[in-house]
A and B are shown apart, each in its own frame.
Chain A
Amino acid sequence: MASPFGPGANAVARGVVLLVPLTIVVLSVAGGVYWRSSYRTGVGVVLDQPVPFSHKHHVSGLGIDCRYCHTTVEESSTAGMPPTETCMNCHSQLYTDSPMLAPVRQSWETDIPLRWNRVHEVPGFAYFDHSVHIAAGVGCVSCHGRVDQMPLVSKQHTLFMQWCLDCHRHPEGALVPHDKVFDLGWQRPSGAGKGAEPSGVPLMDHVRTVGLTSCSACHR
């Protein structure tokens, strides 16, 4: 009895044999690319906010310190979002009829806080404390980037665990002198080694790196 397959079947069979591993490879690579893409991580993506607040204007232009608004960053796990009162300290006098600020005035009148959309979301199973990082001398810029140059803030880093670990393994690159933590534009003087004060006093003295990669440092 003749074969149920014609000569063309061989090419089809070979094609399928090649296609199966190719599909697996393509799908795996595509998955990895997707996972790291800004579509998924949100890096560089500007979120809609109730008010188009410009950090560039307020920080670089006016010279307002980070802590003017993020008041609890030095003593609490969260940096703190400013209440509407903080905005109104100035904006009760300035641009009082700007349509852009209408939501702020409305919040002030109704006593309902503004609902900002969170740019840096750390998952609930990861314990993160701003005050510890500030006290250790990690500059804001290490995680948040040059916020002072962003008209609209976006995430600058993936917040992948790999990214956290990179720094926890080698924190010296992120450490700055204690009075420069909030200085986003601070440059390490050439000649000073990483993790060294410009005066030559090592910054790493007070940072115990041994525990930094322990699971329970972040997952408690």
Chain B
Amino acid sequence: MTTAAPPLLDPRHSYASITDRIVEISLRRNFPFAWVAMVGIAFSVVGLMMVSILWLLSWGVGVWGINIPVAWAFAITNFVWWIGIGHAGTLISAILLLMRQPWRNSISRFAEAMTLFAVANAGLFPLLHLGRIWKFFYLFPYPDTLGLWPQWRSPLVWDVIAVLTYFTVSLLFWYLGLLPDLASMRDAAARRWVRVAAGIAALGWRGSARHWQRYQMAYLLLAGLATPLVVSVHSIVSLDFSVALVPGWHTTIFPPYFVAGAIFSGFAMVLTLAIPLRSAFGLQDFITARHLDCMAKVMLANGLIVAYGYLAEDFTAWYSGDLYEVSKLRDHLFGGGAALYWAVMFCNVLVTQALWFRRVRTRPLPLLLVALVINVGMWLERYDIIVGSLSSDFMPSAFGGFSGTFWDWSLLAGSLGLFTLLFLVFIRVVPMMSMFELRDQLFKERRAAGSGAPRDDHPRTHAEVAPPSGPLHGVLAEFHDAQSVTGAARSARAAGYRDLDAYTPFPVEDLPEALGLPPTRIPLLVLACGILAGASAYFLMWYSAVIDFPWNIGGRPLNSWPSFIPITFEITVLGGALGAFFGVLAGSGLPLLYHPVFNVPGFERATRDRFFLCVRTSDAQAGPVHGMLRALGPIRVSEVRGPPP
């Protein structure tokens, strides 16, 4: 982060105003009519999708237009398109986190949700393509009665594992990031059932320094794991094609060009969602013109890589002199495939050049138009790669056309409807922006600008409940800002108190050290889980391919270790991510829905704008603790008591 950059957040914001502004959306009793209408439309499209799926299951995949030679068409196009869109969410949440790009904070939450919904949609299509969807579990290695194992050398099997790993890691990443914000929601809600629902979902998060310490480490490690994962997923998707010998598929440029294309289309979708969202909910404060500018620049950069991919593909085809490659190229440039090819070039190469202009990048409407064109263009690109290549491969006598049937189109429309529906539900029920990361960003921006903590004393108008009168758990001091609570923790330790905890609305850097917390062992856990999972995956493949079912595949060695790398890698990441997620929960003692500190009036501001230091003590020794804490200049000092025994 360059300190010279102007702040992304309006300096008039405070921790409370950020929190209240965003959490208020999820807590509204009524949503605008436009939202209700869109849910209705999306719901009816999902109904159409359900009918299409029932029809497909009743009659088989023949209801689609697929046949030989075009055996893959809409379903695989949709799969690649959706999974590509998913990539932007992980790029924003993981890669931009590692690169310390603060503009990711406002968009990461809904971009991650977009990833989840896009990957869920993507996963649906290969499943439907199976025809017998109820046999999906054949894809997994399990102790079956068939005596068979998945074919580990096939990119299609890598793909299953990669997509599932990707979905799982994205879900863990998203949910982990959501915990503190669900806690904010729990503490801000007035209605009891919302507090109960959000409270269960937040697993009892209370912003303890012990939570934050593990949380931050796990989040960083998850980002580190997700970064190579996101690159691997679309590389593996591209290998579904490039490992085959079909002209138009068999090219080494595919993995990088697919990854760039994925990010390109993903950012187009993020913008397609962000621009209407910010105006519908008045979030221009958080998604500023500079955010749009940054996203457009990423899109432009990836668009240029994609354009280079097209060029390299065509050049290689021409330069190879291979009869089939050249004829495929000729068909693209001038032949029957020209209309589709040039439409792709127009959408993905020509229109993208508009992003060189700052006026396009920073203005919502032109940018939205460019993003929509790119969304369409990237679908057409995948359609061209899949249908275009399959329809004319080697023997002209075996060429064949394809045209989508009603059921092809209805499932494409249905998946768009499902995506829209899931997204509409998402913006309704959970905070659509990462509030704690925005509070943290505000803290850092104000510190960089040399201004102190924001002062903002809008108390919430909750009815105060008399605290219970049970035995004393500890004494709690409330502060305005992060520096004060860190200083107070240092003083308390210097005064000889050891059993301390602090509760803050965002992770405070020096706090674990000031409280004397030991370093977290999460990195070790993640390493162990990753190694264990990866080694188990390799062992399983080795055992099944060498010992249990030795099978000659094109004369390759039984232990084809290069083919076993992708799955070993995916499962390593999966193991590490599961270790990180459950390490945070187990290490922080979550779920813990009840904690005595929740009984303190005003503690709900720990997830909004206040900083608390808690000294554990008993009734007998409470006197000196009170005195020590009062001397530190808190807003107030309260006693933490449980219910009477």
Contact = CB atoms under 8 A, between A and B. Distances in A.
Given A3-B598, A162-B146, A213-B551, A13 B592 contact: yes
Interface in B423-480: 462-465, 467
A34 to B, nearest CB: 12
B463 A9 contact: no
Contact of B143 (A8, A13, A32, A158): A32
A42 to B, nearest CB: 14
A158 B599 contact: no
20 contacts: A1-B463, A1-B464, A3-B199, A3-B595, A3-B598, A4-B199, A6-B594, A6-B643, A9-B593, A10-B204, A10-B594, A17-B591, A36-B145, A160-B146, A160-B147, A161-B147, A161-B148, A163-B145, A165-B147, A213-B549
B195 interface: yes
Q: Which of B187, B204, B643 has the most CB of A within 10 A?
A: B204
A100 B378 CA distance: 74
B65 interface: no
B145 A5 contact: no
A213 B203 CA distance: 51
A78 B200 CA distance: 62
A10 B147 contact: no
Nearest to B197: A4
B146 A10 contact: no
Interface residues of B, number: 33
Interface in B562-596: 591-595
Contact of B601 (A1, A9, A10): A1
Contacts of A8: 594
A14 interface: yes
A75 to B, nearest CB: 30
B145 A35 contact: yes
A97 interface: no
A162 B145 contact: yes
Contacts of B549: 213
A165 B144 CA distance: 13
Nearest to A32: B143
Task: In the A-B complex, list the 6 residue pairs whose CB atoms are closest, starting with the nearest.
Answer: A3-B598, A162-B147, A160-B145, A9-B593, A165-B147, A5-B593
Interface of A: 1-10, 12-14, 17, 32, 35-36, 158, 160-166, 213
Given A3-B598, A4-B195, A6-B643, A13 B145 contact: no
A9 B594 contact: yes
Interface string B357-393: 0000000000000000000000000000000000000
Given A1-B604, A3-B599, A10 B593 contact: yes
A1 B601 CA distance: 5
Given A6-B643, A32-B143, A14 B591 contact: yes
Given A1-B462, A1-B601, A7 B594 contact: yes
Contacts of B598: 2-3, 5
Nearest to A6: B594
Contacts of B199: 3-5
A157 B148 CA distance: 19
A9 B199 CA distance: 11
B311 interface: no
Nearest to A168: B147
A181 B71 CA distance: 47
Contacts of B145: 35-36, 158, 160-163
